[in-house]
Amino acid sequence: MNAPLGSLDRPNSYIGRAVTRPNAKRLLAGRGRYVTDLVLPRMLHAAFLRSPYAHARIVSIDVEAARAMPGVRLVATGADLARLCTPWVGTLDHFKGMKSAPQLPLPVEEVLWSGQAVVAVVADSRAQAEDAAEAVLVEFEELPPVADIDTAREPDAARAAAGIEDNLCFRSRLDTGGIDALFAGAAHVVEEEFHFGRHTAVTLEPRAILADWDASEGKLTVHHATQTPYQFQDLYSRHYGISEASVRVIAPDLGGSFGMKLHVYHEDMAVVGLSLLCRRPVKYVADRMESFVSDIHARDHRVRARMAVDDDGTILAMDVDDVTAIGAFSTYPRTSAVEGNQVIRLMGAPYRFRNYRAELSVVFQNKVQTSQYRAVGHPVACAVTERLVDLAAARAGLDPAAMRERNLIPDDAYPCSSPTGYQFEALSHQASLVRLKALMDYDALRAEQAALRARGIHRGIGIASFVEISNPSPAFYGIGGARISAQDGATLSVTPSGEVRCLISVTEQGQGTETIIGQIVADQFGVAREKVRVITGDTEITPHGGATWACRGAGIGGETALQAARRLRDNVLALAATILQARPGDLDLRDGIVVDALSGAERVSLAEVARIAYFRSDTLPPDARAQLSITHHYAPQGYPFAFTNGIQGCHVELDADTGLVKVLKHWVVEDCGRIINPLLVDEQVRGGVVQGLGAAFFEECRYDDNGQLTNGSLADYLVPMACEMPDIVVGHIETPTADTALGAKGCGEAGTAAASAAALNAVNDAMAPLGASIAQIPMTPERLLKSLGKI
Amino acid sequence: MSATLPVTLTVNGETLTRLVEPRETLADLLRRDLGLTGTHTGCEMGVCGACLVMLDGLPVHACLTFAVQAAGTEIATVEGLTESTVIADLQRAFHERNALQCGFCTPGMLIAAQGLLARLPLPSRAEIRDALSGNYCRCTGYEAIVDAIETVARRRAAGETAPAFAEEPA
């Protein structure tokens, strides 16, 4: 028990061990239970008529023909649902001056993007509901769509929504002072205008919800494909006026989320109201076309940035202007301003320079809402910073790796802060760079590159350092007034047979939450892993907590489990001491047996302690405390965020005639603190990298001038597939956080944070001898050929 | 929207007859009428591979096959292939290598892999990646899936057989 965490040579030492996921077996056998699969008695199906216009006034709605269609049970408009559901506004108090129009499940007067749900139809089958939706007649009066981020900010610009006074959702400025003078006096100044395309999560299971209002009990049960069941319990309760204890949200198996499934969607809120109106279960599953026009999108930034550099290549300052377009309103309840906020605060984060100025403008337009998606803001900040570092290196005559060696925050400089106010407890940029160069065989790769260039083969090498936000405290949402918890809770019980049940508020989306929680509980309590059952994702069963987002599951949920397991162990040992007439401190629990702590001699089994506690309490003294269930909550303390860090390398080959890029190999060194399960961490990193490479080369929601999404299908919107992706080498540095006993930080966003930056630098490195450069992702063949002057 | 038609087919070894609408897909029939929800739909246009099933021994998209087209065929879904232990070694290798996260693509991946190894017993990594080019996975980054299939190809070539997958503890 007192062995250091991560020591793998004692019984039940699971922390740090690569073990498989027990709950993956049912998914492999086709026995997953996704919301998509659920069927309830008397269940109805919803479908939605959607706006064909990016911006229009609703003149009239005629639902009579639709109501007469076969199987139709209900046709509901915005006005029908507005009578049940209070409006919501996607702002946070700590974003001063932020504004956004109120939202309702379905619009009453105005549609704000092409694809917005306007009228809901509920029928016996989905096909019948879709048939009837086609029979709904809506007369629209088209309004001018707001699309361009610059004209949107002009004083006389048309507004993206009637309820706002102008198209500026939020503005923020950071300035350490004296920036203009620093740039004026710098030996080198490099600058660039960057464009980051809109992309979207494209979870393989689309959004799915099944709401079941039981009028007899006054109880709402919602089976919801979400990361955050507690957040939705709170929202359904407050917006529909149902007591919190009468709202149950269950998140069963979930076919991918990546941040996309924790936002309020209009259809989802509508489905709750439809169930209230029908008094029957109502199910809605977005089809792929609907996903593209209604799931949140992300990124969509234009960043003008420059970097001032000394004669010897020392970075002096950065100056940044970020304009991001978010749709016609800010997403609820986490807003659409967090990404931009993190972009300007993460700029330059791995580096030593202290002088910084940034301006952020968050702009309304008539497109789908944007909001938090995996690695929120990180890829933008990282790509801008790392590209400027490469440009500055070239100007200073330094190799990109040498430039980073000169400018990264030294590993012995902690604790320290960034010029944007982030506090870093302990990071390992220098050690990570050393490890990356070794993994890549960097110098040999450079030599090979030079040799191949002589033969007309254009290979590029890109590297990108990054910092990742994890383990957020209430500084993230709580202080902004959002009822989104930063703490987690767990209930641990010893069963009468001496097994363990762990009900915990962090949730599972396939990353292995239940597995690592089981490892931690088994390790810290002192039983075999097979004896621990972990249950997540049901507000009626598990204690209230933040669930899983922003890389908080392992760090905060894991620490909750650790502390809970230690408390339960103390209770077991206290009871065993009473039974054995021993002192608790002389006992230990190992592999399900209470033993003499010093000699290891077996005293009594956990199963026997449990049997006595549950069935023979008459044999215990009156003051015995047989508390074999405990509930424990843990909220992050110490630093507001546990930052992680790492570095990535990307090796590409460019075909200068076709503009096609082949990613040859990709490397990641990351430091997520204590690694609980290396197998799962590595696969989180690889999956994250591929999402970043998708953004770098393929993924973009393309709109025409009228605000119509022109590639909203999986055949037209390109996602990374197996044949295009490289093998990815993953290495680790471990710098545990001292804020927790567990020492774990997040790892889920590290891959996505810097993959596109490394790829951008690699492609530019390949193009450099050809006199071309690119500052836009995705780097499509067409854009690369334009950069190369070929078209 | 039109009259239903009777369709007789064999699913996971059992011959059955169901009334289906002409517009109903094989995926609809399997998932909705037969409760075989291991077959998933991700795009409903034959791009993502989540709906792959074996039709007369070859992988086909259940979302692109009308139920009436499946009349007289033999269908095997992930549930049937699990029970018959045909893919037990693939399932075990996926599990050991953590070649799945959310699991939504996994049944389709298993069927694509089984189809690949039936026609190409010892594929290269590039050939595996190429064979998976119609199977979308958002979680894993594919490498673990490629590793798992490569491992199974080697094990099969060495004559190894696997016991039924689900009988083993985690």
Q: Which domains does chain B have, with CATH numbers?
A: 5-81 (3.10.20.30), 87-159 (1.10.150.120)
Angle (CA) B91-B53-A726 rounded to 5° is 60
| A292: CB partners within 8 A, 6+ apart | A115, A200, A701, A709, A711, A712, A713, A717
For residue A685, pLDDT over 80 is answered with yes
Distances from the Cα of A786 to the Cα of A300, A765, B43, angstroms: 21, 16, 32
**What's A440's DSSP letter?**
H
For residue B170, pLDDT over 60 is answered with no
Q: Which of these three, A634, A667, A699, is where a domain ends?
A: A634
Can you give the residue range of the structural domain that contains A538? 24-32+487-634
How many Å lie between the alpha carbon of A52 and the closest alpha carbon of chain B?
21
Euclidean distance between CA atoms A483 and A264, whole angstroms: 13
- For A510, which of B103, B128, B169 is closest by C-beta distance? B103
Please tell me whether residues A757 and A653 are part of one structural domain: yes
Residue-averaged pLDDT of chain A: 97
How many Å lie between the alpha carbon of A236 and the closest alpha carbon of chain B?
26
The verdict on residue A90 lying in a domain is yes
Q: Which of these three, A634, A653, A688, is where a domain ends?
A: A634
Euclidean distance between CA atoms A778 and A292, whole angstroms: 18
> Are A471 and A477 contacting, i.e. CB atoms less than 8 angstroms apart?
no
Token digits of residue B20: 């289906």
Euclidean distance between CA atoms A719 and A716, whole angstroms: 9
Count of Cβ atoms closer than 10 Å to residue B40 Cβ: 29
Model confidence over A558-587: pLDDT tens digits? 999 999 999 999 999 999 999 999 999 999
How many domains, in total, are found in chain A?
A: 3
| Cis? peptide before A41, omega within 30° of 0 | no
For residue A3, pLDDT over 60 is answered with no
Please tell me whether residues A495 and A507 are part of one structural domain: yes
**B140: which chain A residues are within 8 Å (Cβ-Cβ)?**
683, 686-687, 690
- For A254, which of B102, B105, B132 is closest by C-beta distance? B102
Model confidence over A727-764: pLDDT tens digits? 999 999 999 999 999 999 999 999 999 999 999 999 99
Q: What is the mean pLDDT of residues B108-120?
A: 98
**For position A1, what pLDDT does the model report?**
41
Please tell me whether residues A589 and A700 are part of one structural domain: no
> Are A207 and A288 contacting, i.e. CB atoms less than 8 angstroms apart?
no
Euclidean distance between CA atoms A594 and A610, whole angstroms: 12
Model confidence over A284-314: pLDDT tens digits? 999 999 999 999 999 999 999 999 999 999 9
**A719: which chain B residues are within 8 Å (Cβ-Cβ)?**
136, 138
- For B146, which of A127, A529, A722 is closest by C-beta distance? A722
In a 3-state reduction of DSSP, which class is residue A747? coil
Please tell me whether residues A522 and A581 are part of one structural domain: yes
For residue A7, pLDDT over 80 is answered with no
**For position B167, what pLDDT does the model report?**
59
Model confidence over B68-101: pLDDT tens digits? 999 999 999 999 999 999 999 999 999 999 999 9
Token digits of residue A489: 């809770």
**For position A5, what pLDDT does the model report?**
75
The verdict on residue A50 lying in a domain is yes
> Are A459 and A653 contacting, i.e. CB atoms less than 8 angstroms apart?
yes
* H helix runs in A37-150, sequence order: 64-67, 78-82, 126-134
Model confidence over A220-277: pLDDT tens digits? 999 999 999 999 999 999 999 999 999 999 999 999 999 999 999 999 999 999 999 9
DSSP characters for A748-760? Answer: TTHHHHHHHHHHH
Count of Cβ atoms closer than 10 Å to residue B3 Cβ: 7
Residue-averaged pLDDT of chain B: 95
Beta strands in A342-457 (DSSP E): 355-363, 416-417, 423-424
Model confidence over A445-485: pLDDT tens digits? 999 999 999 999 999 999 999 999 999 999 889 999 999 99
Q: Which of A28, A682, A684, A719 to mutate to test the interface with B (most CBs of B within 10 A)?
A: A28
In a 3-state reduction of DSSP, which class is residue A423? strand
**pTM higher than the cut 0.90:** yes
The verdict on residue A307 lying in a domain is no
Euclidean distance between CA atoms A207 and A256, whole angstroms: 9
Distances from the Cα of A203 to the Cα of A225, A410, A436, B69, angstroms: 11, 39, 31, 29
The total number of residues shown for chain B amounts to: 170
Q: Beta strand A188-200 with A776-777: parallel, antiparallel or unpaired? A: parallel
Euclidean distance between CA atoms A78 and A82, whole angstroms: 6
Euclidean distance between CA atoms A755 and A763, whole angstroms: 12
**For position A313, what pLDDT does the model report?**
98
CATH classification of the domain holding A279:
3.90.1170.50
Model confidence over A518-565: pLDDT tens digits? 999 999 999 999 999 999 999 999 999 999 999 999 999 999 999 999
For residue A362, pLDDT over 70 is answered with yes
The verdict on residue A186 lying in a domain is no
A768: left (phi over 0), alpha (psi -120 to 50) or beta: alpha
Rg, C-alpha atoms of chain A: 28
Beta strands in A9-149 (DSSP E): 44-50, 56-62, 72-76, 110-111, 117-123, 137-142
Q: Which residue has the higher pLDDT, A476 or A614?
A: A614
Euclidean distance between CA atoms A566 and B109, whole angstroms: 41
Euclidean distance between CA atoms A321 and A285, whole angstroms: 39
| B84: CB partners within 8 A, 6+ apart | B12, B13, B76
* Chain A residue with Cα closest to B139: A687
- For B166, which of A25, A686, A714 is closest by C-beta distance? A25
Q: What is the mean pLDDT of residues B45-68?
A: 98
Please tell me whether residues A691 and A576 are part of one structural domain: no
Please tell me whether residues A387 and A424 are part of one structural domain: yes
> Are A458 and A451 contacting, i.e. CB atoms less than 8 angstroms apart?
no
**For position A595, what pLDDT does the model report?**
98
Beta strands in A234-326 (DSSP E): 247-250, 282-285, 297-309, 315-325
Would you tell me which residues 130-169 of chain B have a C-beta closer than 8 angstroms to some C-beta of chain A?
A: 130, 132-146, 165-166, 169
The verdict on residue A369 lying in a domain is no
**For position A4, what pLDDT does the model report?**
67
Q: Which of B104, B105, B111 to mutate to test the interface with A (most CBs of A within 10 A)?
A: B104
Please tell me whether residues A559 and A705 are part of one structural domain: no
The verdict on residue A417 lying in a domain is yes
Please tell me whether residues A503 and A451 are part of one structural domain: no
From A51, A665, A113, A767, select the one nearest A387 (Cα to Cα): A767
**For position B20, what pLDDT does the model report?**
97
CATH classification of the domain holding A512:
3.30.365.10
**What's A333's DSSP letter?**
T
**B31: which chain A residues are within 8 Å (Cβ-Cβ)?**
37
Please tell me whether residues A398 and A497 are part of one structural domain: no
Strand partners, B14: B11
Q: Which of A20, A21, A27 to mutate to test the interface with B (most CBs of B within 10 A)?
A: A27
Q: Beta strand A56-62 with A137-142: parallel, antiparallel or unpaired? A: antiparallel
Euclidean distance between CA atoms A111 and A124, whole angstroms: 28
**For position B166, what pLDDT does the model report?**
67
pLDDT band at A2 (very low <50, low <70, confident <90, very high): very low
| A398: CB partners within 8 A, 6+ apart | A313, A406
Q: Beta strand A315-325 with A355-363: parallel, antiparallel or unpaired? A: parallel
In a 3-state reduction of DSSP, which class is residue A153? helix
Euclidean distance between CA atoms A496 and A480, whole angstroms: 44
> Are A324 and A361 contacting, i.e. CB atoms less than 8 angstroms apart?
yes
Model confidence over A493-514: pLDDT tens digits? 999 999 999 999 999 999 999 9
Quick check: B95 contacting A, CB < 8 Å? yes
Euclidean distance between CA atoms B34 and B20, whole angstroms: 12
**What's A196's DSSP letter?**
E
Q: Which of these three, A261, A294, A327, is where a domain ends?
A: A294
Please tell me whether residues A621 and A727 are part of one structural domain: no
Model confidence over A646-660: pLDDT tens digits? 999 999 999 999 999
The verdict on residue A348 lying in a domain is no
pLDDT band at B165 (very low <50, low <70, confident <90, very high): confident
A319: left (phi over 0), alpha (psi -120 to 50) or beta: beta
Cβ distance B78 to A29 less than 8 Å, yes or no, reads: yes
**For position B1, what pLDDT does the model report?**
53
Residue type, A652: V
| A410: CB partners within 8 A, 6+ apart | A352, A430
The verdict on residue A262 lying in a domain is yes
Please tell me whether residues A698 and A612 are part of one structural domain: no
Please tell me whether residues A80 and A137 are part of one structural domain: yes
Quick check: A203 contacting B, CB < 8 Å? yes
Token digits of residue A283: 């199910």
Euclidean distance between CA atoms A748 and A737, whole angstroms: 17
DSSP characters for A202-230? Answer: --SS--EEEEEEETTTTEEEEEE--S-HH
